[in-house]
Amino acid sequence: MKPDQASCCTRTDSVMRCSSRKHAMILSCGWLGIAAATIGCGSSTPSSTTTVTAPGSAFTGHITAAGQPVIGASVQLYAAGTSGNGTGAVNLLPGQTISSNSAGQFSIPQDFACPTSTTQTYLVAQSGNPGLAGGTDNRALLLVAALGDCGSLSITTTPIVNEATTAAAAWAFSTFLGASAAIGSSATNATGLRNAFALAANLVSISTGTIPGPNLPSSAKFETAKLNTLANALASCTHSEGGAACGPLFAAAQQGTTKPATTLDAALSIVRNPANNVTAVFAASSGQTTFQPTLASAPHDWTLSITYGNCTSGCGGLNLPGNIAIDSTGAVWVANYFGRVASKFSATGVAAATNGFVGTGLYASYGIAVDASDNAWVTNLQSFTPTNSYSGSVSEFSPAGAELSGLGYTGGGVYYPLAVAAGTNGDIWVADYGSSSASLLASNGTTLSGASGYAASQLPFTSAVALDATQNAWFAVQNGVARVTPLGAVTSFSCCDDPEGIAVDPSGDIWVADYGASSLIELSPSGQTMATLDTASAGASPKGIAIDGAGNVWAANYYGNSLTALTGSNAAFRFPTRTIGLDASLNEPYAIAVDASGNLWVSNSNSNALVEFIGLASPVKTPLLGPPAQP
């Protein structure tokens, strides 16, 4: 108890009571965590009784550097913030000094309260002697470990804090980590942050400090050696005095004039700039053997991926997967051309149905979108039955996978539909490849675009659709794009060779993946070509395209088996090399989407797989109902 609190607080059993002349507060035994940080007995207090109902739990853990105990490290327990990305983290044990002992062990007392049972928590360990003679502290040592739900912490929680947990956190929280190891998200993106913590637990086991975590789906293919190699690169610095030994790592991680000062800074810089100084980062791991297996040579880049599917059974039904859509929980829906199933995976890659959701109306499906109610809408290029003269339909599924549309919706001019987009008002836009037109459906599947649809024969070979902020639909068509208003007015613009993907950025500009010309094209809202970026040198043939919450543009290169990233604000390539992701074994990537945790999801059409690139992008509010926005 702090001196200024002793005069007015007494403890009875497990409850701490503080009183003044006019007010009283009742706090659980974990009161020192949050309440003491915000309410003091000598200050103005609430006029009503406040009860903290989520007391924390004591637990112990270990800190290691290159497998050796770190002695005298400063340890802090934090709750992730809710005031913005990388801000607002709360020290749950303010004023308390916790240090690791000669075995690297530390003890977290019960003197903290969980803001809520699902508040995300993590540990930070700083400085300390990593087993060096003379008691030398390494002031460059800064390690973190994600714990997860505060309410799940218990006496059996025995975390390891080491280089592997730190490297995993750098990738999983790339967009959520700020200065001084502060992890936080906006108050409206609790789901994205919680999913990031769950992902971190899949990357590394918190109880053993080894890679991967125990809950990673058994069929998933994970770049284990890459994560181990970065952990070893960090170990080259952590197991030292923090001076010259850290030089190679910090120099490799330096961006411009900014050189990292800690191991966490270095990890974050590498993860956020995965194509920079790739070989130098790899070289920093030389001689370190703590984490195994490791890469035998430098990777193409430091992107990190997990591949789901590509197995004989039980992998969610992926079967020539096409477009991707993400719902409000972070679950990922995928349309499949074969198999007559729609696939759905949790934010951590667990299949919602072992063999996908079977649909009576599904047949040759390419397009998919999720509406504001988290229902999934799937385009069927053809019909399995004579319905609509075998000319296709649109199927609707509930979040639980129930087919809501029977044999599918066919009104409004639906004719060999290839793509679909959901609007803020529940309306559904459909790109009708067969009739070169557009269909507009209400949220219940009824027709809004008349018997023959909109823009009859004015959208030649339309292959993709995206919505702008005013809910106009932009279609990728042969040699250009076309804008169609909700009332059916059409305006066409020439720009491209063979556009296969289209997206609208937060400023209203239109981005096109020109598959035929191997280029990415930016158009103004008035249809004027603003930039053309050639990707032909990489054999890219971009097909899928997505834009993140910061306006960065991401393209899936169908024949390049890679990703291209642009900085949307100035239409420039984002990384020194024009393509990234070559280590992920992409195989004819068809589509790409961004989730609320900043992960990229890519469908591998030729290997029946779904690939997740971790922490590459800026989070996007999902489902996507127009231009991307920060969640």
Instruction: Express each pLDDT in 478-507 by its tens digit.
Output: 999 999 999 999 999 999 999 999 999 999
Angle between helices 163-172 and 224-238 (to 10 degrees): 120
44 pLDDT tier (thresholds 50, 70, 90)? very low
Chain position carrying tokens 């006496």: 155
212 pLDDT tier (thresholds 50, 70, 90)? very high
Whole-prediction pTM: 0.91
Q: Which two tokens stand for residue 54?
A: 């989520």
Question: Looking at residues 393-398, what average pLDDT do you find?
Answer: 98
Question: Looking at residues 1-10, what average pLDDT do you find?
Answer: 34
477 domain-assigned: no
Q: Say whether both 152 and 24 belong to one domain.
A: no
466 domain-assigned: no
Question: What pLDDT, on a 0 to 100 scale, did the predictor assign at position 13?
Answer: 32
Scanning 173-222, the segments in alpha helix (DSSP H) are 190-203
Question: Looking at residues 243-252, what average pLDDT do you find?
Answer: 96
β partners of residue 390: none
253 pLDDT tier (thresholds 50, 70, 90)? very high
pLDDT tens digits for 399-457? 999 999 999 999 999 999 999 999 999 999 999 999 999 999 999 999 999 999 999 99
Q: Which CATH number characterizes residue 221's domain?
A: 2.60.40.10
Task: Say if residues 116 and 54 touch (Cβ distance below 8 Å).
Answer: yes
Where a domain ends, among 210, 244, 273? 273
10 domain-assigned: yes
Whether the pLDDT of residue 394 is over 90: the answer is: yes
Question: What pLDDT, on a 0 to 100 scale, did the predictor assign at position 539?
Answer: 63
Where a domain ends, among 273, 302, 319? 273
For 244-255, what is the HEC assignment?
HHHHHHHHHHCE
Q: Say whether both 84 and 230 belong to one domain.
A: yes
Q: Say whether both 19 and 135 belong to one domain.
A: no
Question: What pLDDT, on a 0 to 100 scale, did the predictor assign at position 25?
Answer: 28
Question: Looking at residues 172-194, what average pLDDT do you find?
Answer: 97
Cα 73 from Cα 57, distance rounded (Å): 21
Q: Comparing 12-21, 229-238, 575-584, which segment has the lowest mean pLDDT?
A: 12-21
Q: Say whether both 39 and 129 belong to one domain.
A: no
Q: Which two tokens stand for residue 31?
A: 């009161």
Closest residue by Cα to residue 379 from 426, 342, 424, 427? 342
Task: Say if residues 368 and 323 touch (Cβ distance below 8 Å).
Answer: yes
β partners of residue 186: 83
Closest residue by Cα to residue 551 from 577, 531, 535, 570? 570
pLDDT tens digits for 107-126? 999 989 999 999 999 999 99
Q: Say whether both 13 and 161 belong to one domain.
A: no
Where a domain ends, among 217, 250, 273? 273
56 pLDDT tier (thresholds 50, 70, 90)? confident
Q: Which CATH number characterizes residue 621's domain?
A: 2.120.10.30
Q: Which residue has the higher pLDDT, 2 or 510?
A: 510
Whether the pLDDT of residue 547 is over 90: the answer is: yes
Q: Which two tokens stand for residue 457?
A: 């024969």
pLDDT tens digits for 268-297? 999 999 999 999 999 999 999 999 999 999
Whether the pLDDT of residue 222 is over 90: the answer is: yes
444 domain-assigned: no
Whether the pLDDT of residue 473 is over 90: the answer is: yes
Q: Which two tokens stand for residue 27?
A: 């706090």
618 domain-assigned: yes
Chain position carrying tokens 């642009």: 566
Whether the pLDDT of residue 630 is over 90: the answer is: yes
DSSP labels for 345-411? E-TTS-BSSTT-EE-TT--SEEEEEE-TTS-EEEEESS-SSSGGGG--EEEEE-TT--B-STT-B--
Number of residues assigned to the chain: 631
Backbone φ and ψ of 77, nearest 5°? -105, 125
Question: Looking at residues 519-532, what average pLDDT do you find?
Answer: 95
264 pLDDT tier (thresholds 50, 70, 90)? very high
Number of domains in the chain: 3
Q: Do the bridges between strand 24-28 and strand 142-149 make them parallel or antiparallel, or are there none, so unpaired?
A: unpaired
Question: What pLDDT, on a 0 to 100 scale, did the predictor assign at position 128?
Answer: 97
91 domain-assigned: yes
196 domain-assigned: yes
Q: Say whether both 536 and 622 belong to one domain.
A: yes
Mean pLDDT of the chain: 90
Cα 428 from Cα 185, distance rounded (Å): 31
Cα 409 from Cα 340, distance rounded (Å): 16
Q: Which residue has the higher pLDDT, 149 or 53?
A: 149
Q: Say whether both 130 and 8 belong to one domain.
A: no
pLDDT tens digits for 75-112? 999 999 999 999 999 999 999 999 999 999 999 999 89
Angle between helices 263-272 and 224-238 (to 10 degrees): 150
User: Phi-psi region for residue 365, left (φ > 0), alpha (ψ -120 to 50) or beta?
Assistant: beta
Q: 563 is in which domain, residue-wise?
A: 499-631
Percent of residues, the chain, with pLDDT higher than 90: 84
Whether the pLDDT of residue 39 is over 50: the answer is: no
Cα 256 from Cα 213, distance rounded (Å): 34
Backbone φ and ψ of 368, nearest 5°? -155, 145
Scanning 187-302, the segments in alpha helix (DSSP H) are 190-203, 224-238, 247-253, 263-272, 278-284
> Which residues contact residue 432 at a Cβ distance below 8 angstroms, ignoring those fewer than 6 apart?
413, 414, 415, 416, 417, 418, 438, 439, 453, 459, 462
Cα 487 from Cα 509, distance rounded (Å): 22
Q: Say whether both 25 and 80 belong to one domain.
A: no
Burial class (CB in 10 A: 0-12, 13-18, 19+), 491: middle
Q: Say whether both 67 and 134 belong to one domain.
A: yes
Question: What pLDDT, on a 0 to 100 scale, did the predictor assign at position 27?
Answer: 29
Whether the pLDDT of residue 335 is over 90: the answer is: yes
Q: Which two tokens stand for residue 333?
A: 């829906």
Whether the pLDDT of residue 513 is over 70: the answer is: yes
Whether the pLDDT of residue 33 is over 50: the answer is: no
15 pLDDT tier (thresholds 50, 70, 90)? very low
Peptide bond into 299 cis (omega under 30): no
Q: Say whether both 165 and 219 belong to one domain.
A: yes
Q: Say whether both 37 and 141 belong to one domain.
A: no
Q: Say whether both 74 and 192 belong to one domain.
A: yes
55 pLDDT tier (thresholds 50, 70, 90)? confident
pLDDT tens digits for 342-385? 999 999 999 999 999 999 999 999 999 999 999 999 999 999 88
Chain position carrying tokens 């984002």: 574
Q: Which two tokens stand for residue 362?
A: 């599904």
Whether the pLDDT of residue 606 is over 90: the answer is: yes
19 domain-assigned: yes
